[in-house]
Amino acid sequence: MVLKRLNNSERMLEMREPRPLIALDFSSFDDVKSFLAQFPPEEKLYVKIGMELYYAVGPEIVRYVKGLGHSVFLDLKLHDIPNTVKSAMKVLSDLGVDMTNVHAAGGIEMMKAAREGLGKGPKLIAVTQLTSTSEEQMHDFQNIQTSLAESVVHYAKKTAEAGLDGVVCSAHEVEAIKSATSNDFVCLTPGIRPAGSAIGDQKRIMTPADARTIGSDYIVLGRPITRAEDPIAAYQAIKAEWNG
């Protein structure tokens, strides 16, 4: 079953009023249904479906969310041999995802294979360094002895060379990445927290307003919206801040 992607009107709306991505960090289908049911039908969201939810529910969760008219970033961070990633991306393309990702550490050939498998419609981005990774951890565990910023920019340049649309990165790295690639190179930034929110497990964070100012193209928030007493009010406040 191939579900529709954004039409021209929806793309224009996205350009005029960017939507913060809501991370659906739930473990069950019922939790997702209950959360999304709080929003009016005309409020078309952009949601992130990650590993926990996808592995718990399967492809049906993507079909359900797309059936409601929402946009989907399927955050599975594929990292395998090129042929396996290419085949997996063909499956994800048939689900109608709007955006998905791979690990840049998989290499240029893997990223090119992912692009070929997914096709030209959905956005394909790569993970540079996780926002939970500190420079000390990168040096000690990954044995990468450059600075964290240098590692991220290096991965971003290789991602652009492979023909992908952009990267997942910390908002603190957006300016350097766009300088090393282009202004059109997408920077999707997790680790976003409204002022006064708990940091949680993120190491490199920024507010929605600051992320917008420095050039983030997409921002991702989970608990500040999904765990809020009034998720709709929290979402609208963040959306207003994000849109300046």
- Enzyme catalytic residues: 77
Instruction: Give every CB contact of residue 82 below 8 A, 6+ residues apart in sequence.
Output: 109, 110, 112, 113, 114
Give yes or no for a contact between 25 and 223, defined as CB atoms under 8 angstroms apart.
yes
Give yes or no for a contact between 101 and 159, defined as CB atoms under 8 angstroms apart.
no
E strand or H helix at 210: helix 208-214
Burial of 143 (0-12, 13-18, 19+ CB in 10 A): exposed
- Please compute Rg for the chain using Cα positions: 17
Burial of 180 (0-12, 13-18, 19+ CB in 10 A): middle
